[in-house]
Amino acid sequence: MKKLIDSCILIDHFNGVSAATSYLRKHKNDACISIITKAEVLIGFEDETTFHQAQQVLSYFHLIELDQTIIDLVIQLRREQIRKKLNKLPHQKSLQWKLPDAIQAAIALHYNLKLVTHNTKDFDLTQHPFVEVPYTV
């Protein structure tokens, strides 16, 4: 199954986390990134040299852009979360994705990709089988 690499994995790679680098090398032929990931990663580089180096690395990944189908799915997913939150019992946990996370989820679901992240705060593995956590930090 193809992989949608979340920004936290790429940020770890650029910060020298060997588990991230190893994972990316292992899956270089079946990995892609979203336009959201590209933006989240590149805004973190202050100097031009490392910014351009990061652009070069990101250019190796197939880039998935947003279209109306993805946006419609984002809206559907977020509305479902809002409804669940309104109807939940006081002891029940309710996840509320931020917009970038909802976009990542929608892309993964629409294209049948594994979303590769270590963001278990927003993605519960029991509720989101499309998520893969390759390592912990």
Q: What is the mean pLDDT of each run of 10 residues along the chain (137 residues)?
A: 96 98 97 98 96 97 98 96 80 80 98 97 90 94
Total tally of structural domains belonging to the chain: 1
Q: How far is CA 15 from CA 18, 26, 133, in A?
A: 9, 18, 18
Sign of CA dihedral 134, 63, 1, 74: positive
Q: How far is CA 87 from CA 42, 57, 79, 80, 109, in A?
A: 38, 44, 12, 11, 24
pLDDT at 94: 65
Question: What CATH code is carried by the domain that includes residue 47?
Answer: 3.40.50.1010
- Domain range for 122 is 3-132
Q: Supply the pTM of this predicted model.
A: 0.91
How far is Cα 118 from Cα 133, in angstroms, rounded to an integer?
5
Cite the DSSP H helix spans in 29-136. Answer: 35-42, 48-58, 68-87, 99-111
pLDDT at 132: 97
pLDDT at 124: 86
In a domain, 122, yes or no: yes
- Name the residue among 81, 128, 133 with its Cα closest to residue 109: 128
Token readout for 47 is 């100097």
In a domain, 37, yes or no: yes
pLDDT at 62: 97
pLDDT at 92: 66
pLDDT at 5: 99
Token readout for 66 is 């947003």
pLDDT at 82: 87
In a domain, 137, yes or no: no
In a domain, 84, yes or no: yes
